[in-house]
Structure 1
């Protein structure tokens, strides 16, 4: 069981237990307010959020860099039109739990028969960026969307990990 803490949006501070109904899918996206690659992905992340929410799941945006406040996170959400819950993880509890290395990095979780979360995909949101500074006009592969769709249908995912491209998460010492 994973615990999500320090919800920053809508002025609420809560603790969330990452658990769900069998077959439900949740998405966690590690991000930062000042990573240009993560910010470029904001519209796609919002589209994924709406899709996951319509299927009965949740998408959590996790800010990972020290010094971020609830006000910073709310302003970022407002500036980029993000409506999902935002979590501030400056102590890297979630970063460490999922071994996240960059922003943006996505984790897709499917809940098994007893509601236990299982990671079915981790890595790139899509292929908008081949590498930092190497951006396509538009993404042609949508890895998180595909993983969510497969999870909802309880189908196998052909590739469960794709090395993410983005801003490096500096590890806590």
Structure 2
């Protein structure tokens, strides 16, 4: 178990310092502007892609001597990280996620992974490949179900009809010691 977590943290460490990946991502994302919530969603996509790449590598090399597949682990995790970032960029293209919504999406993915693994534990599954598939399926299920319950506004939708409040109120104005009736119009958007 310690080797598993050390491998994951080593993958994250090497992946973020990989110069080729950084150069490609800089070229791909340098001309774009993101809100903080959208930036969190890109980070969420990167970590989720890294997890998917690592789990696919683990499914491929499950019963083998994994130390001799170090390059393939680095390659699949880097490819998964970059692919996850690009796919999340396409996924959020016309949406405007808030910080809270991005955190909820990450929490939903993580909860889905734990749900998938917990299902395997409850069913007493001993096969590591099946547990990996349950974790992958749970992560994707958590992503899709969390997105389904969130109402994320479009970037093109600056003012929605729900955001405009108009109120009319009768008022009296004091003019030369006399009260004159009037109407107060209050518009909030």
Task: Specify if TM > 0.5.
Answer: no
Q: Looking at both structures, which has the greater relative contact order when contacts are Cα pairs under 8 Å and sequence separation is at least 6?
A: 1
Q: Could you say which structure has the higher strand fraction?
A: 1
Q: Could you say which structure has the higher helix fraction?
A: 2
Q: Give the TM-score of the pair, scaled to structure 2.
A: 0.29
Q: Give the TM-score of the pair, scaled to structure 1.
A: 0.31
